[in-house]
Amino acid sequence: MPELPEVEVVRRGLAVHTVGRRIGSVSVYSDRAVRRHLGGRTDFEGVLRGRQIQEIRRRGKYLWLVLDEGDAVLAHLGMSGQFRIGPGVAVDRVDHPHLRVRLRFDDGGPDVDFLDQRTFGGMSFVLAGAELPEQITHIARDPLDPEFSLEAAVAAVRAKRTEIKRALLDQTVISGIGNIYADESLWRARVHYLRPTATLTRPVARSVIEAATAVMTEALTAGGTSFDALYVNVNGESGYFDRELDAYGREGRPCRRCGTPIRREPFMNRSSYFCPRCQRRPRR
DNA sequence: CAAACTACCTGACTGC
DNA sequence: TGCAGTCAGGTAGTTT
């Protein structure tokens, strides 16, 4: 699943391959892939034609292609979205069942394809705004943002009245963290996922956020995690951070710190993985 | 107002 | 072999 490090890998790949290029034509193969766009796929295709891509920006798991004249294409990968630079895949991807959008360029160079199996991802045509498109102003800064404030994030987490994992997954508190990195961060900080934020001391809250920052920074260095085969970079390559995962997906396998079997429990319609010894369940 | 819940979606996998 | 059921989970929108 693409979380912050994976989306950043995609952002960099898109920047290398698209900045400065002018869109020639756009083909939308799935209505669901174009979100909240009045006029639907036809208008979306028309409005992008001839526009030059100037920059690829990102906040949390959202990224956007800044176009000339102050517009942008806002995109989210959802669970299974991929941007791929073509050619490079053996099959003819026009026939690929997951191909949702194809951007062609007037320089005749490689296309950019948006593929998405589970169709939770998509893109929309928006105003770029001064700093952010207005559609994502509710998204908090992420730990890779140069202006990310650890102390502000600590305060935001401690101000919530919920469990720590819910707060970590809340993109308005800190952005970029999904289920995998939430579990990894909590394992590193030795904090149980059900711990109420109200009981977190400032230093404990700080250690959780520092762990999140560290684990995502390491994943970015490694090229993004590839625990789920759905994630690939713009060249179709998986990262190799999966070997480093300590908690997520390791049910029944020994904790790398203490050897106790990692436990999996249902939480928020997904799973939480944790070490029952290192991460003590809060009393309630 | 904030927190919690649900729909959305496809494909791999499991059990009978 | 077939098929129903389960699981994966980020976000917007709805409910509590």
Say which amino acid occupies A268: M
pLDDT given at position A228: 42
Q: Which residues are A163's β-sheet partners?
A: A196
For residue A55, the SS3 value is strand
List bases in chain B with any atom under 7 Å of a protein Cβ: 2-11
**Burial of residue A135 (number of CB atoms within 10 Å: 0-12, 13-18, 19+):** middle
Q: What is the pLDDT of residues A175-222, one digit of tens each?
A: 999 999 999 999 999 999 999 999 999 999 999 999 999 999 999 988
**A20: exposed, middle or buried (C-beta count within 10 Å: 0-12, 13-18, 19+)?**
exposed
What does DSSP assign to residue A283? P
CA–C1' gap, A49 and C5, in angstroms:
45
Amino acid at A43: D
| Shortest-distance nucleotide from A77 CA to C1' | C10
Q: Is the CB of A78 under 7 A from strand C?
A: yes
Confirm if A84 and A4 have CB atoms less than 8 A apart: no
Six token digits for residue A101: 């959008």
- pLDDT bucket at A155, cuts 50 / 70 / 90: very high
A209 touches strand C (CB under 7 A): no
Residue A76 pairs in a beta bridge with A62, A122
Q: In this predicted model, what pLDDT tens digit does every residue of A213-263 receive, in sequence order?
A: 999 999 998 875 444 444 567 666 665 455 579 999 999 999 999 999 999
pLDDT band at A16 (very low <50, low <70, confident <90, very high): very high
Mark residues 35-64 of chain A whose C-beta is closer than 7 A to nucleic acid strand C: 36, 60-62
Q: How far apart are CA A189 and CA A205, in angstroms?
A: 9
pTM score = 0.93
Residues 165-184, chain A, CB closer than 7 Å to nucleic strand B: 166
Whole-number average pLDDT of chain A: 90
Q: How far is the CA of A269 from the C1' of C16 (A)?
A: 18
Q: From residue A250, give the alpha-carbon distance in Å to each of A3, A150, A243, A256, A274.
A: 19, 29, 11, 10, 9
Q: What is the mean pLDDT of residues A59-80?
A: 96
Dihedral angle computed from the Cα positions of residues A10, A11, A14 and A20, in that order, rounded to the nearest 10 degrees: 180
pLDDT at residue A231, rounded to an integer: 53
Contact A9, A239 (CB under 8 A): yes
pLDDT digits (tens, 9 = 90+) for A122-153: 999 999 988 999 999 999 999 999 999 999 99
Q: What positions of strand C are covered by protein, i.e. any atom < 7 Å from a CB? A: 7-13
